[in-house]
Structure 1
């Protein structure tokens, strides 16, 4: 959701940190300074342990045979390597590491990436990162079989003013669903795409699950904001997530697709309004690409993940705003989804959960003709209670004022089963999609 601000929280945060530091005792300051010196030198009080941060698996176009690992360190210059071994195997394969560090928000991010290939579908592996005679602990990495049944976690906008709610909800969702195979975050991952502090807070929410299952990131409009709340190209997002390549020269990794089991996923970029001032042609390029992509990669189930929603809602106190189909998103994409026989479309952006059932040719269809449209809700603490007036297409909404929520999707041979849960685990909606 778009919002204008006349100040930045960064100023407040820096002032608060400065005040807290000034109030701290001298001994504590010396202890912290010493620990920081050790960290910057790559030395730590526990020998043979490699300390890294924000370790994450990123989805690839073929997760049955490959995976991308990304992480950060507090200093550069380490000669790092990824070691990976198959379950119950002694042989260890060593994968080279690429330095993908970048500078943004006046911060140098010491980031590294490893691309692992030659994996076997339906197999379990362990991996770790080594450097300077130290190593991380071993982590799990599993690849899907071609016809695997599995569960997926889906998170709406995690955009927050304080990420404590997001972190708690994401950790609870993972604790209840540790049998999950992968997870998706549907855009507006942070409130301000240039704010490094917000990115580190976002990553804390996914820290446990991102070590062991792949992430499916989706770009939102807030990823395109700079510190002055003006739009820019989504530099931080594109650096943090090395998603599958789409063959574009102008919009590489803005959008992508991948297969997981019997599902083909299409991840679209809906930020043409924010990006058109810098580059044009995003919508046209995706319209041509999605037809080629589905022709080459169609699976039994075909699912779209995108940030902005396809419907326009009326707003409380704004009688001039009508209900209908969103002109920039819905009118463009819904006919294409009909044409390409998409099964489910997941959206976000409006910070409210709405199950609209199946829609075809802009009309509700009771017999599962056309895609099922799920507006996924809100996962952060930026909420808009009682803002939206119910749309005629809505079948299920959450009680107002809404709190944060997450979704699961179970993929089976004969059905997709999607459920919505509150942070405390209360189930609020469940819907099945079957093939005619």
Structure 2
């Protein structure tokens, strides 16, 4: 049978694909919609999105949700703020933010964003936290960083499937690998899918959220996308707003620090140390959780080491104020330790701050046995964590993406004493995950 081939001139093919790219870059369709908090989670909700062309009338619409699809008379309209971002390839996007305020605690709201005369997003829903004394949970994920869509997606989805009612999802830094790379942020947003439009995100800044300055190749600066795409509290030190902040969520104070900047100079470290002391001294909440990217202690192989300056400055502050849990990333291993103290003596069966390092993505390092500090460890394992608080009890559960319970402990709050620490999974009794070669060290 005779085959016929049609030759298409190269300039037509080039024009076709150029047109596709141009049309995508210039779309008015809202994308990268994400919920965060700038204010009180019980009475406010922030939402951010972007488009490829500037909208003439960027708005968000909001109403208390019900089962009806036609009752729109009570819809409120909010004007959005606009930020223009032009990346190093000359591609422009416009970011829009709205903070809904004066909301009803425990209320479920429907919302959509866009331009009423152009493109509007689908309706989605969120629920503000209430002020009732009832159990609540949140999700914690360590570094995703690489192959975010192909591998990171399954950790995000597994976490959401395990705890769909969790109040928020915390990422402990290195959400992506190259801070200025739009393609990687696209992967991150794609990996989160609809979850980010329904469940608030609490992002912690890592070293990979910094990238080479477009003006000075010898300087690292925060990702050009960080502040435009995340609407976060402005209660941090001057110059570090939206990378250092705290959120009061029910009876928990969650403090987020910028460990990368703190490691740059004694002055920067002192600035954040003073902030940490202040927000922990004036803390009315029962539970305190602190999150930053770089661990105080490390046993991982490779180039990274301990950070004694960070540890010497912040560990005494955490111990002084009886911080309950410290959540970190960076090492691409799993590590949990409840007995690393510097300035305090904790009775047997109790715990000062419990330190955790976790990893959600595919990039894995190993653990050097002689440097081991943790009570429970794991390598070559994608994990997520569900943390539940019920009055005086904090339940910590770490799961693999295969829905296997990998680590489990409880903290029981005591008045004027350290927490009672109950370990449900112990490394001496339960096998730890290793590499295929049977060791905690990577194969060379």
Q: TM-score range by the shorter chain?
A: 0.7 to 0.9
Residues 1-47 of structure 1, C-alpha deviations (whole Å, 9 max, x = no match): xxxxxxxxxxxxxxxxxxxxx999978984994696488364xxxxx
Residue of structure 2 equivalent to 1:430: 408
Shift in alpha-carbon separation, 1:312–1:134, aligned structure 2, 3 A: closer
TM (normalized to structure 1)?
A: 0.82
Residue of structure 2 equivalent to 1:234: 222
Residue of structure 2 equivalent to 1:388: 368
Aligned counterparts of 2:9 and 2:157: Cα–Cα separation in 1: 32
Shift in alpha-carbon separation, 1:306–1:38, aligned structure 2, 3 A: closer
- Is 2:359 the partner of 1:367? no
SS of residue in 2 equivalent to 1:164: helix
Shift of 1:387: 4.3
Aligned counterparts of 1:199 and 1:158: Cα–Cα separation in 2: 12
Aligned counterparts of 2:390 and 2:288: Cα–Cα separation in 1: 13
Residue of structure 1 equivalent to 2:242: 253
Aligned counterparts of 2:231 and 2:9: Cα–Cα separation in 1: 41
SS of residue in 2 equivalent to 1:172: helix
Residue of structure 2 equivalent to 1:138: 123
Unaligned runs of 5+ in 1: 1-21, 43-50
Aligned counterparts of 1:134 and 1:272: Cα–Cα separation in 2: 39
Shift of 1:356: 0.6
Residues 184-211 of structure 1, C-alpha deviations (whole Å, 9 max, x = no match): 0100111111222111112222232110
- Is 2:65 the partner of 1:87? yes
Mean alpha-carbon deviation: is it higher for 102-111 or for 421-430?
A: 102-111
Residues 43-98 of structure 1, C-alpha deviations (whole Å, 9 max, x = no match): xxxxxxxx311100012341111121111112213312111111348512111101
Shift of 1:161: 4.7
Residue of structure 1 equivalent to 2:359: 378
Question: Contact conserved, 2:178 with 2:184, CA < 8 A, in 1?
Answer: yes
Mapping for residues 258-269 of structure 1, pairs under 5 Å: 258-269=247-258
- Is 2:111 the partner of 1:127? yes
Greater Rg over alpha carbons, structure = 2
Shift of 1:163: 3.8
Mapping for residues 278-289 of structure 1, pairs under 5 Å: 281-289=267-275
Residue of structure 2 equivalent to 1:46: none
SS of residue in 2 equivalent to 1:233: strand
Question: Contact conserved, 1:357 with 1:393, CA < 8 A, in 2?
Answer: no
- Is 2:341 the partner of 1:353? no
Unaligned runs of 5+ in 2: 1-7, 415-444
Aligned counterparts of 1:149 and 1:421: Cα–Cα separation in 2: 20
- Is 2:209 the partner of 1:209? no
- Is 2:290 the partner of 1:307? no
Of 387, 390, 396 in structure 2, the residue corresponding to residue 412 of structure 1 is: 390
Aligned counterparts of 2:370 and 2:49: Cα–Cα separation in 1: 42
Mean alpha-carbon deviation: is it higher for 211-220 or for 194-203?
A: 194-203
Residue of structure 1 equivalent to 2:429: none
The alignment of Structure 1 onto Structure 2 pairs a total of residues equal to 395
- Is 2:377 the partner of 1:397? yes
SS of residue in 2 equivalent to 1:111: strand
Of 213, 221, 227 in structure 1, the residue corresponding to residue 207 of structure 2 is: 221
Residue of structure 2 equivalent to 1:339: 320
- Is 2:154 the partner of 1:168? yes
